[in-house]
Amino acid sequence: MIIVGGAGGTNVGDSFCRAASELGLSAELVDSSDAMAPTAFAQKLLWHFGGRRPMHLSRFSKQLVASVARDPAQILITTGAAPLTRRALAELKALGVTCVNFSTDDPFNPIHHARWHVRSLPAYDIVFTPRRANIGDFAGLKCSNVCYLPFGYDPLLFKPVTVDSAARSRQTQVLFVGGADRDRAAFFDAAGAAGLEPTLVGSYWERFHVTRGARLGQRSASELCQLTAEAAVNLCLVRRANRDGHVMRSFEIPAVGGFMIAEDTLEHREIFGAEGSCVLYFKTPQQAAEKTNWALVNPAERHRMAAAANRHILLGKNTYRDRLLQILTAIAAIVPRQTERPA
């Protein structure tokens, strides 16, 4: 198995590679950043003025095909806008490789849209998407098989944290972890007017005046676990431009044991059930502020829901090992098993 994706941090590609090893499968992670320009400035120029194209897209694609020709693989799993051309995917399939993509970001979102990537998507045997909202768009591209596959969590990175009394005394009242965009900045502007004062972890919050003073910057996975467990309330917002129904934090917060107030979506309700069982839901910034204030003065209810959500996610087959098993099951059901490699 070859996995093409980001290496290090909380990248899904790394998590899939660890999951494959747990399952006793031979897996190699190929870092997709190898296709990028040698300097951030050069890549930014090409990204903005070259159709979001990695500088070494063709070279990366050719090298991967040559590597598989020398050392055969059965399955290729790519994550997000993996730097592989349509031609390279066709050549890999001719070598007997089943090619699948886990579409971590919405490729139809104008912020992420890259023509070369969209053109490559129909060449995959299966496209897995963690958002139901774009299944029809993939079908419209004539992708032969499209499957809904939720995000998950990596138990090596996100595991229950015990919060002692000293930590509780310094706990963050309200925490949000995620990258900034205009929609999210507008949300926290309105929520702030309703009395919500969150701490923000992630990139780009300094770009917006309303959130600049609340930012904590980037944090490691271990730091995120501690912050999440210590926070009285963890807000979980989806990215509207991505048409998300849930996000990675939807699983990471309860896996750590944090209490969550989640954006009210069909996918969140599908995952967590009725309000008050595991989480609270909000539709507007004002609702988020109102329910946060309620939760802050009802610690017993917070702890009850956090414990219920933690059990629900930990016992519910939501790790990336479970997601990899779902991918392999779908491959077995959809793609005819190759008994021999082509001559």
Q: Which tens digit of pLDDT belongs to each residue from 246-268?
A: 999 999 999 999 999 999 999 99
Whether 277 has a pLDDT exceeding 70, the answer reads yes
Considering the domain boundaries, does residue 229 fall inside one? yes
The answer to whether residue 156 sits within a structural domain is: no
Q: Integer distance in angstroms from the first to the last C-alpha of the chain? A: 20
| Same domain (yes/no): 11, 43 | yes
User: Would residue 339 count as lying in a domain?
Assistant: no
pLDDT of the residue at 181: 92
pLDDT, average across residues 47-65: 85
> What pLDDT does 29 receive?
96
Do 207 and 330 reside in the same domain of the chain? no
Q: Which amino acid is at 144?
A: S
Q: Please say if the pLDDT value at position 164 is more than 80.
A: no
Read out DSSP for 54-118? -TTHHHHHHHHHHHHHHS--SEEEEESS-S--HHHHHHHHHTT-EEEEE--S-TTSTTT--HHHH
As a whole number, mean pLDDT of residues 170-180 equals 88
CB count, 10 Å around CB of 217?
Answer: 10
Locate 36 and state its tokens: 């990028």
pLDDT at residue 338, rounded to an integer: 44
Q: Provide the pLDDT confidence category of residue 191 given band limits of 50, 70 and 90.
A: very high
Task: Kindly state whether residue 145 falls inside one of the protein's structural domains.
Answer: yes
Under the banding of pLDDT at 50, 70 and 90, the label for residue 162 is confident
Residue range 291-312: average pLDDT? Answer: 97
Q: Are both 98 and 188 inside the same structural domain?
A: no
Is 152 within 8 Å of 249 (Cβ atoms)? no
Average pLDDT of the residues of the chain: 92
What is the SS3 assignment for 40? Answer: helix
- The pLDDT, as a whole number, for residue 117 is 95
CA distance linking residue 118 with residue 262, whole number of Å = 31
How far, in Å, are 48, 59, 108, 140, 142 from residue 267 at the CA level?
32, 39, 19, 22, 25
- pLDDT above 70 for 341: no
Structural domain count, the chain: 2
Is residue 255 situated within a structural domain?
yes
Query: What count of other Cβ atoms lies within 10 Å of the Cβ of residue 44?
Result: 11
Helix then strand then coil, % of the chain, to nearest 5: 45, 15, 40
Q: Does 83 map to a domain?
A: yes
Confidence bin at 17 (pLDDT 50/70/90): very high
Q: Which residue has the higher pLDDT, 40 or 91?
A: 91
Task: Return the percentage of the chain with pLDDT > 90, whole number.
Answer: 83
User: Residue 198: which CATH number?
Assistant: 3.40.50.2000
Number of neighbouring beta carbons within 10 Å of residue 241? 16
Domain match, 14 and 131 both: yes
Residue 327 shares a structural domain with residue 295: no
Domain identity same for 9 and 42: yes
Q: Is residue 110 domain-shared with residue 207, that is, in the same domain?
A: no
Q: Is residue 159 part of a domain?
A: no
Q: What Å distances lie between residue 69 and 34, 87, 117, 293, CA to CA? A: 20, 15, 23, 59
Residue pLDDT, tens place only, 70-85: 999 999 999 999 999 9
Distances (CA, A) of 139 to 143, 159, 303, 331: 5, 36, 43, 18
Question: Residue 64: is its pLDDT beyond 70?
Answer: yes
Average pLDDT over residues 317-334: 96
203-256 pLDDT, tens digit per residue, is 999 999 999 999 998 999 999 999 999 999 999 999 988 999 999 999 999 999
Question: Residues 302, 330: one domain?
Answer: no
Residues 115-161: tens digit of each pLDDT = 999 999 999 999 999 999 999 999 999 999 999 999 999 999 999 98
Do 310 and 170 share a domain, yes or no?
A: yes
Question: Taking Cα atoms as reference points, which of 308, 277, 282, 312 lies closest to residue 294?
Answer: 282
One domain, residues 270 and 256:
yes
Is 160 within a domain? no
Strands 2-5 and 280-282, how do they pair? Answer: unpaired
Residue for token digits 């629900």?
A: 312
The pLDDT, as a whole number, for residue 270 is: 97
Residue 170 has pLDDT above 70, yes or no: no
> Mean pLDDT throughout 303-331?
97
CB-neighbour burial class of residue 174 (10 A; exposed 0-12, middle 13-18, buried 19+):
buried
Confidence of residue 52 (pLDDT cuts 50, 70, 90): confident
CA dist 249 and 305 (Å) reads: 16
Pick from 140-149, 157-166, 271-280: least confident: 157-166
Q: What is the domain extent for residue 127?
A: 2-150+319-334
Same domain, 143 and 121: yes
Stretch 58-75: mean pLDDT: 96
Look at residue 9 in the predicted model and tell me its pLDDT.
Answer: 87
Confidence grade of residue 37 (pLDDT, cut at 50, 70, 90): low
Same domain? For 171 and 124 the reply is no
